[in-house]
């Protein structure tokens, strides 16, 4: 198995932001102003304002890109309030690539130097953290120490928490209790003849090591050895959403080198947000003569773990007798268009009573850094989501993205609702373990269960 080296380096090349590879005006011209997207947009449903709808935001971006409007604070505020959830894309009959339009617009604002201070600070902070696995591990170790100390209780008792800036308060409230240890690639059963790579991601190994462990066990059970390329970095989604194309491209190039050098059958991802960005590396680097072909190959090899597993014949599954509801992660449902695979896997598990939410594909308000930078709107969306979950009576909420898991856990915790939040792959792992099959000649993984 390839193990992590822990090496990190700043992958951002010096120099100004490059121009974007896409023609923003062409993308915008596809919008016929029909308004079919409005009822799919979480911020429009909350505020009822055209300027906070997909159609309205496209009009604002068009006015800005044609020079009819300046990138003023109020205008950019409407762009900032967008979750980049892409629910408008699946609702749009004209195929308007809204995610790309928003990323291009934010990138153009940053490239022109007109980005507000908050945007520039956000991009700079991401640049100083995301490429450095050791810095992230250090920050997580500090947080773990904080959570296990008397400090959180003291801050609450004295009211000192309320004095923190709102983003910090939101971060403190939404953090799950960090597990004692971060993810370490496990030993795997011998005799596995096929090989895939798994993206570790930047936060997942520290927040949800159990999800990675379950993913490895499930893939082993399907006959795959799982490798972890040592030089992989953050997928770049947060930088791209923050308008920092240069950093996103630098991260993409490093991941492409790391994963293609690993010579695997597929690149498997258990974080829908990361997988969505990795699927789009081909477009991100399409004007890069050195990486264009490698980026397209990388994108074609990338699979969300649930889509990947659902395409295989499953081994025997044991019973998992729980009522489960499934929250579509936006970047799995709307960006990757994967909605049936996760449900098919859940339905295949004996004992699971799958109860649908009223609005399963509406954003929970997590959306990368959104819950930190737009805490009020994030909280409104989360409150509705928790109401929806409670109405199902489910005791387990399954989803497909660590950000959604964190957000849902926080919402349920704050409302005192006793329900567990898991990644779908964890339930499948539980079912496979419950089957408890003994090892046989054609099932080399049996001993590991
Ligand atoms: S984005 Fe699509 S759905 Fe929305 S107004 Fe434009 S064409 Fe209609
Ligand atoms: S990406 Fe989401 S929040 Fe933004 S305009 Fe589209 S539906 Fe609305």
pLDDT in tens, 393-409: 999 999 999 999 999 99
Domain boundary among 79, 112, 145: 112
How many Å lie between the centroid of ligand 1 and the Cα of residue 30?
8
Q: CB pairs under 8 A, 24+ apart, for 341-348?
A: 341/304, 341/306, 341/307, 341/309, 341/310, 341/311, 342/306, 342/310, 342/398, 342/400, 342/424, 344/310, 345/306, 345/309, 345/310, 345/314, 345/424, 345/427, 345/428, 346/398, 346/424, 346/427, 348/314, 348/317
How many Å lie between the centroid of ligand 2 and the Cα of residue 342?
23
pLDDT for 288: 94
Domain boundary among 77, 112, 147: 112
What pLDDT band is residue 20 in, cutting at 50, 70 and 90? low
* Domains identified in the chain, total number: 2
Please give the span between the terminal C-alpha atoms of the chain, in angstroms, as a whole number. 19
The answer to whether position 17 is within a domain reads no
The answer on pLDDT for 256 being more than 80 is yes
- Give the tens place of pLDDT for each residue, 105-136: 999 999 998 888 989 998 988 888 888 888 99
What pLDDT band is residue 192 in, cutting at 50, 70 and 90? very high
With a 6 Å cutoff on the Cβ, whether 385 touches ligand 1 is no
* E-state strands within 205-337: 224-227, 267-269, 302-304, 323-326
The answer to whether position 400 is within a domain reads yes
Closest residue by Cα to atom 6, ligand 1, is 31
Of 315, 353, 348, the closest CA to residue 436 belongs to: 315
Atom of ligand 2 nearest to the CA of 37: 7
What pLDDT band is residue 440 in, cutting at 50, 70 and 90? very low
Beta bridge partners of 225: 195
pLDDT for 293: 95
Q: Which residue has the tokens 């014949």?
A: 313
CATH number of the domain residue 396 falls in: 3.40.50
With a 6 Å cutoff on the Cβ, whether 54 touches ligand 1 is yes
What distance in Å separates the CA atoms of residue 274 and residue 293, rounded to the nearest whole number? Answer: 20
Model's pTM, two decimal places?
A: 0.89
Q: Which residue has the tokens 């009020």?
A: 376
What pLDDT band is residue 368 in, cutting at 50, 70 and 90? confident
What pLDDT band is residue 84 in, cutting at 50, 70 and 90? very high
Mutation probe of ligand 2 site: the residue of 28, 38, 41, 94 with most atoms within 8 A of C-beta: 41
What distance in Å separates the CA atoms of residue 213 and residue 186, rounded to the nearest whole number? Answer: 8
The answer to whether position 4 is within a domain reads no
The most distant pair of C-alpha atoms in the chain lies apart, rounded to whole Å, by 70
Element (H, E) at 390: helix 375-392
The answer on pLDDT for 342 being more than 80 is yes
pLDDT for 436: 72
With a 6 Å cutoff on the Cβ, whether 35 touches ligand 1 is yes
The answer to whether position 265 is within a domain reads no
The domain containing residue 48 runs over which residues? 24-112
The answer on pLDDT for 9 being more than 70 is no
The answer to whether position 164 is within a domain reads no
The answer to whether position 382 is within a domain reads yes
Q: Between these two residues, 385 and 158, which has the higher pLDDT value?
A: 385
Q: Which of 171-185, 210-224, 357-371 has the lowest mean pLDDT?
A: 171-185
Q: What SS3 class is residue 149? A: coil
How many Å lie between the centroid of ligand 2 and the Cα of residue 13?
31
The answer on pLDDT for 308 being more than 50 is yes
pLDDT for 2: 33
Domain boundary among 112, 137, 165: 112
The answer on pLDDT for 266 being more than 50 is yes
Atom of ligand 2 nearest to the CA of 54: 5
CA distances from 278 to 66, 201, 326, 356 (A): 30, 11, 24, 29
Q: Which of 77-86, 174-183, 290-299 has the lowest mean pLDDT?
A: 174-183
Closest residue by Cα to atom 8, ligand 1, is 34
Closest residue by Cα to atom 8, ligand 2, is 41
With a 6 Å cutoff on the Cβ, whether 146 touches ligand 1 is no
How open is the CA angle 208-212-217, to the nearest 5 degrees? 140
Closest residue by Cα to atom 7, ligand 2, is 41
How many Å lie between the centroid of ligand 2 and the Cα of residue 287?
27
DSSP of 84-140 = ---HHHHH-TT---HHHHHHHHHHHHHHTT---HHHHHHHHHHHHHTT-HHHHHHHH
What's the whole-number average pLDDT of the chain?
89
Of 241, 328, 231, the closest CA to residue 280 belongs to: 241
What distance in Å separates the CA atoms of residue 171 and residue 156, rounded to the nearest whole number? Answer: 14
With a 6 Å cutoff on the Cβ, whether 41 touches ligand 2 is yes
How many Å lie between the centroid of ligand 1 and the Cα of residue 38?
8
The answer to whether position 52 is within a domain reads yes
The answer on pLDDT for 15 being more than 90 is no
The answer to whether position 342 is within a domain reads yes
Q: Between these two residues, 354 and 441, which has the higher pLDDT value?
A: 354
């Amino acid at each position: 198995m390839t193990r992590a080296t822990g090496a990190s380096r700043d992958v951002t090349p010096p120099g100004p932001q490059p121009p974007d590879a896409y023609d923003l005006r062409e993308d915008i011209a596809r919008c016929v102003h029909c308004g079919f997207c409005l009822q799919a947009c979480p911020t429009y449903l909350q505020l009822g304002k055209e300027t906070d709808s997909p159609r309205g935001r496209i009009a604002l971006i068009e006015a800005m890109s044609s020079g009819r409007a300046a990138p003023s604070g109020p205008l950019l505020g409407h762009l900032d309030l967008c979750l980049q959830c892409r629910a408008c894309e699946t609702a749009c009959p004209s195929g308007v690539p809204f995610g790309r339009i928003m990323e291009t617009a934010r990138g153009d604002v940053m490239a022109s130097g007109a980005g507000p201070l908050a945007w520039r600070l956000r991009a700079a902070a991401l640049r100083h953290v995301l490429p450095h696995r050791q810095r992230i591990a250090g920050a997580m170790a500090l947080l773990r120490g904080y959570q296990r100390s008397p400090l959180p209780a003291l801050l609450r008792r004295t009211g000192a928490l309320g004095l923190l800036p709102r983003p910090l308060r939101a971060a403190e409230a939404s953090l799950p209790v960090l597990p004692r240890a971060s993810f370490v690639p496990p030993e795997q059963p011998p005799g596995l003849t096929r090989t895939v790579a798994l993206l570790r991601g930047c936060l997942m190994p520290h927040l949800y090591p159990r999800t990675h462990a379950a993913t490895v066990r499930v893939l082993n059970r399907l006959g795959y050895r799982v490798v972890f390329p040592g030089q992989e970095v953050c997928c770049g989604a947060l930088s791209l959403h923050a308008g920092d194309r240069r950093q996103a491209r630098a991260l993409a190039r490093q991941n492409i080198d790391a994963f293609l050098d690993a010579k695997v059958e597929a690149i498997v991802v258990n974080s829908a947000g990361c997988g969505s960005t990795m699927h789009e590396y081909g477009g991100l680097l399409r004007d890069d003569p050195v990486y264009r072909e490698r980026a397209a190959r990388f994108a074609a090899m990338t699979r969300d773990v649930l889509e990947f597993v659902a395409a295989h014949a499953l081994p025997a599954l044991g019973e998992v007798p729980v009522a489960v509801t499934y929250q579509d992660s936006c970047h799995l449902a709307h960006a990757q268009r994967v909605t049936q695979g996760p449900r098919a896997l859940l339905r295949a598990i004996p004992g699971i009573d799958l109860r649908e939410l009223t609005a399963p594909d509406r954003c929970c308000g997590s959306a990368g850094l959104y819950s930190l930078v737009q805490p009020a709107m994030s909280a409104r969306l989360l409150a509705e989501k928790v109401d929806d979950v409670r109405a199902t009576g489910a005791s387990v909420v399954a989803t497909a993205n660590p950000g959604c898991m964190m957000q849902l856990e926080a919402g349920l915790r704050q409302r005192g609702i006793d329900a567990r939040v898991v990644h779908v792959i964890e339930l499948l792992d539980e079912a496979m373990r419950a089957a408890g099959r003994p090892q046989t000649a054609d099932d080399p993984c049996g001993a590991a269960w």
